[in-house]
Amino acid sequence: MRITVASGKGGTGKTTVATSLAISLALNNPALPPLFLDCDVEAPNAHLFLKPAFKDKKDVSILIPSIDESKCTGCGRCADVCEYHAIAVLNNKVLVFPQLCHGCGSCTLICPTKAIWEVPNVMGVLESGITPLDINFAHGIMNIGEPMAVPVIQQLKKWAAPQPGQVVIVDAPPGTSCPVVESARGADFLLLVTEPTPFGLHDLKLAAQVAKELGIPVGVIINREGIGNASVENFCETQGLPILMRIPYDLAIAKGTAQGQALPEIYPKYTLLFQQLFAEISRMVVHQ
């Protein structure tokens, strides 16, 4: 079972919810705690909550072109086919711009004199480890200045594969575009965390559409209930989006999460509440 926690709007509490869910599952099933993947590779935070002891590390790279000048005739075919303007031929000299390159390999294939070979360009790092509750944890950290999160997320998912029967909790980045889609791809369920404000509602609508595009069943968690109005709740009702949990705005929760505490550590009742949430999600997925 793979559950991705997403939101659309940033700051609604994805990481708080995802880590709380993982902790509850670990407490409920110490024989097989879940695998937690923090796919917010631009600004990963889950490790601040789950506190893994990092053991393994792996560079993330894509293959970029390198030119053998002795074979290059300056014909410019490589530049012609590059959709990203990452390779330019000027004065018979070939220039490669690594941060524009998507690693597609097209230039390498097209070169009529086989003057291009590929070398790895490191764009980030993957780390994995085990948390105090034995949760298998992995995240990716994209290098500053790199534009593309998707390859890092793709490699993270491949590298940190679950054991048979292990539940996977994925913490997605904010937004609704390609990094979120990549994080959600392959999920059995999409848990959308929102806040009861106009911004929360606006972005929840977009996130719900992403779920629809991907054909993944959806449930909503309203976080910081009480700070805004009922428009999110009304929207969920009219759209038939099940509201699976409401977390009230609470200064103790605000202070606790600020310090990296997940909900069960602030109020122990959340251990059971998240286990019940998981049971409900499992029921919904089976009935699909």
Partner 1 sequence: MKIVLTVSSSSIDAEFDPRFGRCAYFLVMDTETMKWEAFQNPGINASGGAGTQAAQFIAQKKVAAVISGDFGPNASAALNAAGILMYRNKDSGSIQDIVKRFNAGELEKVDVPSASGSHH
Partner 2 sequence: MKQLVILSGKGGTGKTSITAALAHLAHNDTIPLVLADADVDAANLELVLSPNVLEEHDFMGGKVANIDLEKCIGCGKCELVCRFDAINHQGRKYQVDPIACDGCSACVYQCPTNAISMELQLAGHWFKSETYYGPLFHAALRPAQENSGKLVTMVKQQARLLAMDANYPLLIVDGPPGIGCPVISTVSGADMALILTEPSLAGVHDMERALEMTHHFNVPAVVCINKFDVYLDGAIQIEEYCHKHNYEVIGRIPYDSSIIEAMINGEPVTAFRPESPASKEIHTVWQNIIQFMNLN
> Using CB under 8 A as the criterion, which residues of the chain lie in contact with partner 2 when the complex forms?
8-12, 15, 40, 42-43, 45, 48, 81, 83-84, 102-106, 109-110, 142, 144-149, 173-181, 197-199, 202-203, 206-207, 209-210, 213-214, 227-229, 251, 254-255, 257-260
CB of 250 to partner 2, least distance (A): 12
Q: Which of 56, 57, 69, 97 binds partner 1 (CB under 8 A)?
A: 97
Which option in partner 2, partner 1, none does residue 19 bind, with CB closer than 5 to 8 A by kind? none
d(Cα 128, Cα 55) in Å, to the nearest integer? Answer: 6
Per CB under 8 A, the segment of 94-102, 160-168, 169-177, 229-237 that binds partner 1 is 94-102
Whether the Cβ atoms of residue 42 and residue 173 lie closer than 8 Å to each other? yes
Closest CA to 117 of 105, 102, 131: 105
Beta bridge partner(s), residue 120 = 63
Instruction: Say whether residue 117 binds partner 1 (CB under 8 A).
Output: no
Which option in partner 2, partner 1, none does residue 100 bind, with CB closer than 5 to 8 A by kind? partner 1
How would DSSP label each residue in 63-79?
EEEEE-TTT-----HHH
Residue list 156-195, contact with partner 1 (CB under 8 A): none
Per CB under 8 A, the segment of 26-34, 55-63, 87-95, 117-125 that binds partner 1 is 87-95
Which option in partner 2, partner 1, none does residue 174 bind, with CB closer than 5 to 8 A by kind? partner 2
Whether the Cβ atoms of residue 148 and residue 174 lie closer than 8 Å to each other? no
Q: Which of 31, 70, 91, 158 binds partner 1 (CB under 8 A)?
A: 91
d(Cα 1, Cα 189) in Å, to the nearest integer? Answer: 8
- Interior/surface letters 159-191, b for 16+ CB within 10 angstroms, e for the rest: ebeeeeebbbbbbbbbbbeebbbbbbeebbbbb
Instruction: Say whether residue 71 binds partner 1 (CB under 8 A).
Output: no
Instruction: Say whether residue 149 binds partner 1 (CB under 8 A).
Output: no
Instruction: Say whether residue 86 binds partner 1 (CB under 8 A).
Output: yes
Whether the Cβ atoms of residue 138 and residue 160 lie closer than 8 Å to each other? yes
Which option in partner 2, partner 1, none does residue 104 bind, with CB closer than 5 to 8 A by kind? partner 2
Strands 53-67 and 189-194: unpaired
Which option in partner 2, partner 1, none does residue 95 bind, with CB closer than 5 to 8 A by kind? partner 1
Amino acid at the residue 94: V
